[in-house]
Each structure stands twice: as structure tokens, then as C-alpha cells.
Amino acid sequence: MSWAGNKEVGVGRMTIAESRPNELVRFKLEFFEPFAATNSAEFAFKQEGGRTAVTWTMRGQNNFVGKAMCLVFDMDQMVGGDFEAGLAGIKAIVEKR
């Protein structure tokens, strides 16, 4: 999947790198604008007492500018709400079934 949005969304691409049913989906995220970066992200699924716990992680290397931004900006505040909304959306879809 690729996207081109406004200055907040930017331009990028997401490619599924690995998928194991009932276990995980790992993908490569490439951001081209407003800043170039390549990250890996995954959804991991774990059965817990008749329910499924979902963990969403994203990893990547920070260059000097990225490290400086992490000192100035609270990344959890910047993207944490997006992660929470995404997980809530997944939950709503699954529970609807």
C-alpha cells in the first residue's frame, strides 16, 4: 500500500514482510516525505484465556535529526493516539464478527 497525503501524513509505502496466521503480521514502512525513514512494524497476537492480546510495535533507526526530535517532542503524545485508535478499530471489527 502507498499513500500521498497532506503535510502531516506525507508520502510513504507499507509492504507486508511476513505473516503467520494467529501469530503475527510484520511489515516494512517506508516514509519519503516530510522526512525519509524506514521502519519495521508488527502486530503480534497471543491467546490469553479465550481472548487475544494484540501488541503493535514499530522499530527503526534514528539519525541525528530523529534523535533530536525525540528529545524535543513526546513521540507517545504524537502517535500514541493513532496506535490506540488503530487497536480500537481492530477490536471493533473482530468483536462485530
pLDDT digits (tens, 9 = 90+) for 9-56: 889 999 999 999 999 999 999 989 887 888 899 999 999 988 889 988
Residues 21 and 52 placed together within one structural domain of the fold: yes
pTM higher than the cut 0.75: no
Residues 6+ apart with CB under 8 A from 31: 10, 11, 12, 37, 38, 39
Domain range enclosing 97? 62-97
Same domain for 45 and 3: yes
Q: Domain tally for the chain?
A: 2
Helix (H) or strand (E) run with residue 89 in it: helix 75-96
